[in-house]
Each structure stands twice: as structure tokens, then as C-alpha cells.
Chains A and B, each alone.
Chain A
Amino acid sequence: MKTIILRTASDYLLPVLLIFSIFILLRGHYLPGGGFVGGLIASIAFVLHSFANGLSNTKALLRIHPGFLMPIGLMLAFLSAIAPILGFDLPFMTGIWMHEPISVLGTIGSALFFDMGVYLVVVGVTLTIIFTISESA
């Protein structure tokens, strides 16, 4: 699969897809999108890169093992889920929202952090699965 067209294209596609995945992540609360879809798009970006440039290059690009993203994402989701218990004495996973919207991002609430956690977990899980399968193939 190491054609020059795909390799050149994937260099440009990787950042575009990553930015698109973050866009999908951020619009997710009221519109179609969210952490799961965003995470899938981000992992597709890396999978495409690995098809074009080889698995070892993608791993070098990632620096850390993708599996390490799983506990980080879980921790982020976990903290956003227990924040209402610790801070406000509300049932867990209750959405806590800032009153004033911020430009570009919109209103920030605990749901956004939960989604970011999901995003990281999905990227971690998907890349670990695909890397494992393609390594042992």
C-alpha cells in the first residue's frame, strides 16, 4: 500500500482529520457528533497514516503507546462523573454548566469533559485493537 499518492495525501489528511474530529467532539452535545464519533474519526486518521507509511512510523508519530490513552480517558470521564457528588452534592453524572458561553467552544459543562474522556478511550481502544491485529497478521 506504500504508493506515493496515498503517502503524500495522508500527510495532509492527518491534521485535517484530527481537526475535524475535534470539531465533531465539540459540537456533540446538541447536534450529531460527540466523543465516540470524534474518537473514531481520529483513530481513522492514524490508521490511514499507518496504511500509507507503515505501522512503525505511526507509532513513532504517536510517541506513547495508544493503550496508555485508555486510563487517562477513563480518569477524565470518571472525574467529570463524580464532580457533582464532590462539589455540589448532586447525583453522579449530573451536568454542571458554566453560566456564560465562551466563544468558539460554547457553554462548557461537565458533559464536555466526559465526552473528551470518551474520545481518548475510543482512540486508545481502537488503535490498540487495530495495531494488535495488524502486527500479528
Chain B
Amino acid sequence: MTQQLVIYPLLLQLFLSIILMFSWKKISWQRVISIVGGFVNIAVSIWLFSYIWENGTQTVQAGNWPAPFGITFVADTFSATLVLLTAISGLVVSSFSSASIVVARLKFGYFPIFHFLLLGLNGAFLTGDIFNLYVWFEIILISSFVLITLGGEKAQLEGAVKYFTLNILGSTIFLTAIAVLYGLTGSLNMADLSLKVALIENRGLVDITAVLFLIGFGIKAAVFPLYFWLPDSYHTPPSAVSAIFGGLLTKVGVYAMLRVFTLIFVADEFLINTILIIAFLTLITGGLGALVQNNLRKVFSYLIICHIGYMIAGLGLYTEVAIAGAIFYLIHDIVIKTNLFMISGLIYRIKGTNSIRSMGGLYADSPKISFLIAIALFSLVGIPPLSGFWPKISLLSASFSAENWWIVGGILFASFITLIIIAKIWANVFWKDKVELPKRLNFRYFHKLTTVKKSQMIGPIVFLTLVSLYIGFGAEQIQQVSSRVADELLNNQQYIDAVLNNNQNLN
């Protein structure tokens, strides 16, 4: 049974979505199934992670077709880590959403679609086939379309049109890139492609294909200059939906970039320079964008873009230290961004507004919640020894040793600007004197909720804050994981052997 372990997180999510579809009208059942399923999913993911940690990269050949011909599912340390993080974010968001989203929205199939989204995420992390990656991207995309439009408010529909158009464009470019790659090599298996692309003599054509992949994934990951859809759409849906989007959706793009540009297109001068320029501009523009916004969730949306720059910079520097830093940042970022958007939802429930200027006095009203939020915000900035600090050290030391002063400047600039933004939020939302807001009728303020609902909203935030405290204080273990991932990514022979040499075992 453990031979098929790689596929279990996928099958579990598919099973959960089917069960949830059967109980389409029964929202109270769906809540229970979703949360219990989330716990099971964490257990399976921990099992997968510990198994991979002990035994190295594992593969499953779907349909028992040998490797370059069938679809392979591969779990190396990178995939297993991300599957585990998906499970954690999935559980907390399903708990948070069952408390914070109104039943009128939940009954249009929120939970089944949410688990289809998690299925797509797990699939994208585990697949070893480039076209299969495209299919998982589309599953993520169509689930996210439904989630972003659920409720059908005016702002949501306007945001959804932009989100929809640019993401479909990204997918089409990705598909075009796959077509060119298939024309060049005649293969779709990523391990096989790695061997075949290295043999192609026309390097210009390979570079163009790589740029097509870069644009396709860049739209998903929201890098400069392709990010404009993100701040226009992420603040419109319910905050639980924004939490899973902000935590995981852009990170799938980053994952795909890290995978493709270490495995298939081994970076040359041209690619590295392109990626570094993109990373620098992403750091700067995202930070400047966040500075001028007044809507709390728009600020966080721009911060997503700004912090994507760190990971892209880590990829662009292309040394083991830099990639380990990027992986560490990815782990930290998934947890912290999910948490941030849930916090914004909590503040919205307490105050009834998203505008930073009209808030105030949160610290005087509820000091305990403010203290909790403070830890999360400081982890985001990376005040030592909290979680954002350690990956930046790795990235900075890598860019110092590469003597790339632009990237050093970009990383420092983005860190300082994040600090300024957090200080601004803190001063305006927590310390400023309370502004009397008009009470909104029929609005479910936080203090009106039942104790169960309150704990369902606070619990996930406490849990994720603890996880990010662990990432900060247990940085050595996370660093071990990220160094191992970086080692596996740069020495891709291990991955190729695990996929292609599995054939002998079958026969």
C-alpha cells in the first residue's frame, strides 16, 4: 500500500469533493466533512513527508505505463513539503470559511469547489508530466473562478473579469509553450524532457520556449509586469477565499518556475539575467504599490507581489544557498499570507470596514487579538528571530557572494518598505484613537457571533501563528528541509533516475 503513497493526497481530495457534492444542500454536513477531511489530509501529508524524508524520491506510474510514455506522479522533498503546507492551509481555511462566510454563499457549492481547488494544488505539486501540470493548472483555475465569483457582487464580477482574462491568457501561453516543447522533443515527461532538451542544438529555439514558459508561469505567479490582475481581484471575494488564493495560488506559479527552470531548462546567462531583472522590478513595484493603498486587503495583495520577488530572485541567483533561501521563503510565505488574509477578514468582521484610515482603537478594544495579530505582522516583516528573517539572510548572503548589488538593494528596499507598511497599519488600525463608524445594519459583527463561530475564526489564526513561530524558532529544521530541496533541485539526476529507472522494477 505504501508504494502508492504519492497518490493518496490526490485521491483523498477527490473523494472529499465527491462526497461533498453528494451532500450539496446540507451545509452543516459539508462543514463537518470538510474539517474532518482536512485533519485526515494533514495526517496523510505528514505520512507522505516523513516517508519521502526517510526514503528519498518516490514515483507512481499512473495506469502502470512505463515512465516516458505514461503520466508519472513524483514526490520529492519539494513536492512533499508543499503538499503538507497545502494540507495545513486547507484545514485552517475550511475552518475559517465555515465561520466567516454566510450560508447564502456556501450553498452554491463552496466546499466541493474548495476541495477541487486543493485537489488541483496537490496535483500540480505531485505531477511529473508537463501537460498534466497544465491540466492541474486548469483545475485550479476553474475552481478559483467559481470561488472568486461566488456571491456575484458588483466588485467581485469586475475583479473576476480581469482575473479570468489574464489567467486564461497565461494558460494559453503555457499551452503554446508545451506545443513548441513537444515539437522539439516529442516527449512530455519532465525527467525525459530534461535529458532531451539538453541535447537540442538550436539553443535560440530553446530559449524562446523557456521565455514562453516564463511568461505563462509569470502571469500565474504575478511577477512584474504581469501582475496587474492580482490587486484588482484578490480583495473582492470573501476573505477566506482570498486567504487560500493569497497563500497558495501564486505560489503554484513559483513552484512551476522553480521546477521547470531547474529541471528542464537548465539556466543559461540569458535566462538568469531575465529572471533577475524581473525579480528586482517585482520587489520594487510591489512594495511601492502597497505603500499607497488604503484598503487593507489591497495592501496585502501588493505585498504578495512584492514578496514573490524574493523567491524569483532566489531562482535567478541560481546557487544552492539562494535556492534554499527561496524555498525557505516559500514555506514562510504560504503560512504567513494565508494568515494575513484571515486576519484581514477578522478585522473586517470586528470593524465592518476595510479602509485603513477609518479604523482605529483595535488595541484598546481587544488587546489579546491585537497581540496575536502583532506576532503575525512581525513575522511578515522578519523581525529576528521570527520566520521572515532567516530566508532573507540566505538570500542576502547569496546575492552578496554573487556580487549582484541590484538584488541586494532590491531585497533591502522591499524589507524596509514592508516594515514601513506594517508600521503604518499598526499605527492606523491599532493605536490611533477610535473613529466612530456608522453601525451597519444586518452586518454580522464579530461580537454578535456565537462562541463556536468565534473560536472557528480565531482558532485558525492562532494555529497558523504558532506554525510561523515554529518556522522562526525552529529555523534550523526548516533550513535543513530547504537545503535538501535546493540540493535535489540543482542535482536533478536524482529526480531523473527516480522517474526513468522505475521501469525496471515494473517488468
Q: How far in angstroms is the closest Cβ of chain B from A110?
A: 10
Q: How far in angstroms is the closest Cβ of chain A from B143?
A: 14
Q: Which residues on A sit within 8 Å (CB–CB) of B18?
A: 71, 74-75, 78
B161 at the interface (CB under 8 A from A): no
A135 at the interface (CB under 8 A from B): no
- For B7, give its contact among A67, A74, A92 (CB under 8 Å): A92
B104 at the interface (CB under 8 A from A): no
- On whether the beta carbons of B62 and A92 are closer than 8 Å, the reply is yes
Given known contacts A89-B1, A90-B64, A93-B62, A71 and B21 CB-to-CB distance under 8 angstroms: yes
- On whether the beta carbons of B63 and A78 are closer than 8 Å, the reply is no
A33 at the interface (CB under 8 A from B): no
Q: Kindly supply a per-residue 1/0 record for chain A positions 91-131, scoring 1 wherever the CB is within 8 Å of any chain B CB and 0 otherwise.
A: 11111000000000000000000000000000000000000
Q: Which of B7, B17, B63 has the most CB of A within 10 A?
A: B63
Q: Which residues of B14-39 are within 8 A (CB) of A?
A: 14-15, 17-18, 21-22, 24
- For A85, give its contact among B4, B15, B21, B61 (CB under 8 Å): B4
Q: Which residues of A50-73 are within 8 A (CB) of B?
A: 67, 70-71
Residue ID in chain B nearest A81 by CB atoms: B11
- On whether the beta carbons of A92 and B15 are closer than 8 Å, the reply is no
From DSSP, what is the main secondary structure of chain B's interface residues? helix
B60 at the interface (CB under 8 A from A): yes
- On whether the beta carbons of B11 and A82 are closer than 8 Å, the reply is yes
B3 at the interface (CB under 8 A from A): yes
- On whether the beta carbons of A92 and B21 are closer than 8 Å, the reply is no
Number of residue pairs A-B, CB distance < 8 angstroms? 44
Alpha-carbon separation in the docked complex, A89 to B1 (Å) = 7
**Number of contacting residues on A, CB 8 A?**
17
Q: How far in angstroms is the closest Cβ of chain B from A52?
A: 30
- For A91, give its contact among B17, B24, B60 (CB under 8 Å): B60
- For B63, give its contact among A71, A89, A91 (CB under 8 Å): A91
- On whether the beta carbons of A74 and B21 are closer than 8 Å, the reply is yes
Q: Which residues on A sit within 8 Å (CB–CB) of B3?
A: 89, 91
Q: Which residues on A sit within 8 Å (CB–CB) of B24?
A: 67, 71
Q: How far in angstroms is the closest Cβ of chain B from A133?
A: 16
Q: How far in angstroms is the closest Cβ of chain B from A88?
A: 10
- On whether the beta carbons of A94 and B63 are closer than 8 Å, the reply is yes
Residue ID in chain B nearest A75 by CB atoms: B18
Q: Kindly supply a per-residue 1/0 record for chain B positions 297-313, scoring 1 wherever the CB is within 8 Å of any chain A CB and 0 otherwise.
A: 00000000000000000
Q: Which residues of B255-275 are within 8 A (CB) of A?
A: none
- On whether the beta carbons of B22 and A94 are closer than 8 Å, the reply is no
Q: Which residues of B184-200 are within 8 A (CB) of A?
A: none
- On whether the beta carbons of B21 and A91 are closer than 8 Å, the reply is no
- On whether the beta carbons of B14 and A92 are closer than 8 Å, the reply is no
Q: Which residues on B sit within 8 Å (CB–CB) of A95?
A: 63
Q: Which residues on B sit within 8 Å (CB–CB) of A84?
A: 64
Residue ID in chain A nearest B7 by CB atoms: A92
Given known contacts A70-B21, A71-B18, A71-B22, A91 and B64 CB-to-CB distance under 8 angstroms: yes
Alpha-carbon separation in the docked complex, A67 to B15 (Å) = 17
Residue ID in chain B nearest A90 by CB atoms: B64
Alpha-carbon separation in the docked complex, A61 to B477 (Å) = 62
Q: Which of A70, A71, A89 has the most CB of B within 10 A?
A: A71
- On whether the beta carbons of A91 and B62 are closer than 8 Å, the reply is yes
Q: Which residues on A sit within 8 Å (CB–CB) of B7?
A: 85, 91-92
- For A78, give its contact among B1, B14, B62 (CB under 8 Å): B14
Q: Which residues on A sit within 8 Å (CB–CB) of B21?
A: 70-71, 74
Q: How far in angstroms is the closest Cβ of chain A from B2?
A: 10
- On whether the beta carbons of A92 and B22 are closer than 8 Å, the reply is no
Q: How far in angstroms is the closest Cβ of chain A from B271?
A: 35
Q: How far in angstroms is the closest Cβ of chain B from A82?
A: 6
Q: How far in angstroms is the closest Cβ of chain B from A114?
A: 10
Q: Which residues on B sit within 8 Å (CB–CB) of A94?
A: 63-64
Residue ID in chain B nearest A94 by CB atoms: B64
Q: How far in angstroms is the closest Cβ of chain B from A92?
A: 5
Q: How far in angstroms is the closest Cβ of chain B from A109?
A: 12
Q: How far in angstroms is the closest Cβ of chain A from B141?
A: 16
Q: How far in angstroms is the closest Cβ of chain B from A68?
A: 8
Alpha-carbon separation in the docked complex, A115 to B57 (Å) = 32
Residue ID in chain A nearest B4 by CB atoms: A85
Q: Which residues on B sit within 8 Å (CB–CB) of A91?
A: 3-4, 7, 60-64
Q: Which residues on A sit within 8 Å (CB–CB) of B14?
A: 74, 78
22 A-B pairs within 8 Å (CB atoms) are namely A67-B24, A71-B18, A71-B21, A71-B22, A74-B21, A75-B18, A78-B11, A78-B14, A81-B11, A82-B11, A84-B64, A85-B1, A85-B4, A89-B1, A89-B3, A91-B63, A91-B64, A92-B4, A92-B7, A92-B60, A92-B62, A93-B62
Given contacts A92-B60, A94-B64, 18 further A-B contacts (CB under 8 A): A67-B24, A71-B18, A71-B21, A71-B22, A74-B14, A74-B17, A75-B18, A82-B11, A85-B7, A89-B1, A90-B64, A91-B60, A92-B4, A92-B11, A92-B63, A93-B63, A94-B63, A95-B63
**What 5 A-B pairs are tightest by C-beta distance, nearest first?**
A71-B21, A94-B64, A93-B63, A74-B18, A91-B64
**A residues whose Cβ falls under 8 Å from a Cβ of B:** 67, 70-71, 74-75, 78, 81-82, 84-85, 89-95
**B residues whose Cβ falls under 8 Å from a Cβ of A:** 1, 3-4, 7, 11, 14-15, 17-18, 21-22, 24, 60-64
